[in-house]
Amino acid sequence: MSHQGYEEELRSERSYVAGLYTRIDAERARVKGKYGAALRGNGGTPMERDVEVRALAAEMKRLDVADNGLCFGRLDSLSGEHSYIGRIGLFDEKNEFEPLLLDWRAPAARAFYVATAASPEDTWRRRQFHTRGRRVLDFTDEVLGRPDGGERGDAALIAAVNAPRGDGMRDIVATIQAEQDQIIRLDHSGVLVIEGGPGTGKTVVALHRVAFLLYTQRERMERHGVLVVGPNPAFLDHIGRVLPSLGETNVVFMTTGDLVPGLRVTAEDTPEAARLKGSLKILDVLAAAVADCQRLPEDPLPIELSDVTVRIDAGTAEWARDEARGSGLPHNEARAVFRDIVTWALTERAIARIGRGWLTRDDLEAWEQLREDLLEELADHDMFTAALDEFWPILTPEGLLAQLYTSPERLVAAGAAPALWRADGDAWTVSDVPLLDELVDLLGRDKPVDQTAERESKDEAEYAAGVLDLMISREDLMDDEDHLLAQDMLYAEDLADRFRGRDTRELAERAAADRDWTYRHVVVDEAQELSEMDWRVLMRRCPGRSFTVVGDLAQRRSVAGATSWEAMMEPYVPGRWVYRSLSVNYRTPAEIMTVAAALLAEFAPGITPPESVRACGVRPWSRRVDEDEVDSAIGEFVRDEAGREGTSIVIGPPGVPGTVVASETKGLEFDAVLVVEPERILADGPRGAAELYVALTRATQRLGVLHQGPLPQALIGLAEIGTPAQAGDQRSA
């Protein structure tokens, strides 16, 4: 294309994209008008208006986020048609079947991501726009189906990966690569495991897959939402803007420590304790701990009633315990069975003693009256209630687990290892979360609390029914048909709902606060760190077993984490999980990946490192310092990077001031990284090599290493420098 031809095309494209923005502005104004009308309550029932308000609010958000980078490309088919590709779909105002802009998730847009010179997908040209705000700055073309394919089709990709990093992860909607697109659009209803080394884009691919699923299965998925589980709050904050930027907001972000609402994680387990708690064998310990609380009296316990004293002996309690356990009910709910058996035994004995000589079973009326009197007395009998609390107490997950951890005797009784003992029972760790969640099902609800809630609900309904009766009784002037209409249209339960108030929270807020909420799809990132017990919790949260699982076994640090995907997945979804891998590193430049790959070869020789898509031209460097020079060297790095565009971080072993540990940077990326004392990171536990591997692969441009002792063998290829100024000047040959 000549220069003049290019300029003419550019003007044409600018005009078309400007027209798209005119269309989206008109659509935004239309939706805003409908939203205002819905808020004013014009027509429909309150429930219908509430549904409409929520739907219109979601539509306004979708239109707002699409404003940035609305249209990013064009496909030209062999038949001469043009298809513009963008963040959302837009249709002609006069002809709703005429697409002006294809949503990137639409089947017709797929060729934009997968077409190649060898397989053009019935297209002959792919055009990519470079935009700023609402203006098209320029474009690049790739001619498909012939060897001289024009300019490189990865120009937009290279520009994106070379750009300085900001505060959070960006979407890749304009630069999705073919291997990524195949995973995003994969038609699989079970568990999809995506494995890839550092920088392969597995996280952002998983998030775009969520957006794709919400687009293709919106009605099924939107009401229950999607759960995204990440390793730490910093990671969740880093990725939190991707889905909203794609117009999707019904998503809940959590760490595994957040899966029990209201629980605060304040402590960290020893590796051995984490291993024990993460194994499914801990289920036997929990069951035994619950059973240990279902006790028998050592000596008969007297219960003094008005006319007689009866005793709860070991035989009666054992019979009641066996019946309660055999009921299959959770512990707290089975207490009613235990109570009923004990109560029946005590009343039978009391009746026999009180009625000795004058009362027989043939006198059913007198027998039953006496039983009712005894039952009423036992119901309010403090000693009897105390006995129930001793032999079959109402338990809470937190209370039971805290008592177990702080009692060597209880640990022995439950068959638990001494490594689980700790002085502060309720100093909760991440590994405690799945145990507490399991105990919710083992124990059941706190029945007295539930019964109180049921009574309150019943009282509200009865009150509302009374109001309804009063309203109807006053309608003396209405005819019979009107009476029927009033009764049919206004039920007591509906009126009670009005007294209780409507839950106006967004889906994400409601789901995060509800332990029993179930999701239609779950994304698990850094999944190699999750234990068997963690997976048990997550499977409970998604009965349909629809998951996107993201991880890298080479980066596993947790001793309770995955050693193979099959071992973790097969017990829950046998035959319903598939594996896909990503092999191209879009984040880490070749110069840095060469260093990281040498370390990977030492601790995981069977794993092939991802291939970097680019080089940055800057060699990674190392600098040897004395102990008293560490702080000043870190300060020099920080000051130097403060004058550059982009982000930076200092990663070190635990306890080094001014650094973060590698585990807190998982999934994150920075323009520049300084790794402090790699020899200490390497020596920090059995997975120290994985930690160092994570630290080395966070950088997108520049990597430096400070060390006091000799460099680890894998890092000897770093360029040794003497001053920070020399580090800034390092260039690859």
Give the residue numbers of the binding site for ATP: 196-203
CA dist., res. 4 & res. 508, Å (int): 52
Asked if residue 256 lies in contact with residue 278, where contact means CB atoms within 8 angstroms, the answer is: no
Strand order in the sheet with 648-651: 648-651, 670-676, 699-707, 621-624, 719-720
Burial class (CB in 10 A: 0-12, 13-18, 19+), 104: buried
Beta carbons within 8 Å of 259's beta carbon, 6+ residues apart: 229, 433, 434, 437, 537, 538, 541
Annotated binding site: 196-203
Beta carbons within 8 Å of 312's beta carbon, 6+ residues apart: 297, 300, 301, 303, 342, 346, 387, 391
CA dist., res. 466 & res. 472, Å (int): 10
Alpha helices (H) along 293-381 = 314-326, 331-354, 364-379
Asked if residue 239 lies in contact with residue 667, where contact means CB atoms within 8 angstroms, the answer is: yes
- Which is nearest to 123 in space by CA: 103, 105, 96, 150? 150
Q: Specify the DSSP element, H or E, that contains 705.
A: strand 699-707
Buried b (16+ CB within 10 A) or exposed e, 444-464: beeeeeeeeeeeeeeebbeeb
Burial class (CB in 10 A: 0-12, 13-18, 19+), 222: middle
Q: Specify the DSSP element, H or E, that contains 330.
A: none
Asked if residue 184 lies in contact with residue 209, where contact means CB atoms within 8 angstroms, the answer is: yes
CA distances from 425 to 21, 280, 403, 408, 657 (A): 59, 21, 7, 12, 30
662 torsion bin: left (phi>0), alpha (psi -120 to 50), beta (else): alpha
Beta bridge partners of 673: 649, 703
Phi first, then psi, for residue 176 (nearest 5°) are -60, 130
Strand segments (E) across 67-190: 71-77, 82-86, 90-91, 99-103, 123-132, 135-143
What one-letter code names the amino acid at 688?
Answer: G
227 torsion bin: left (phi>0), alpha (psi -120 to 50), beta (else): beta
CA dist., res. 340 & res. 336, Å (int): 6
Total residue length of the chain: 733
Q: Specify the DSSP element, H or E, that contains 254.
A: strand 251-255
Asked if residue 268 lies in contact with residue 429, where contact means CB atoms within 8 angstroms, the answer is: yes
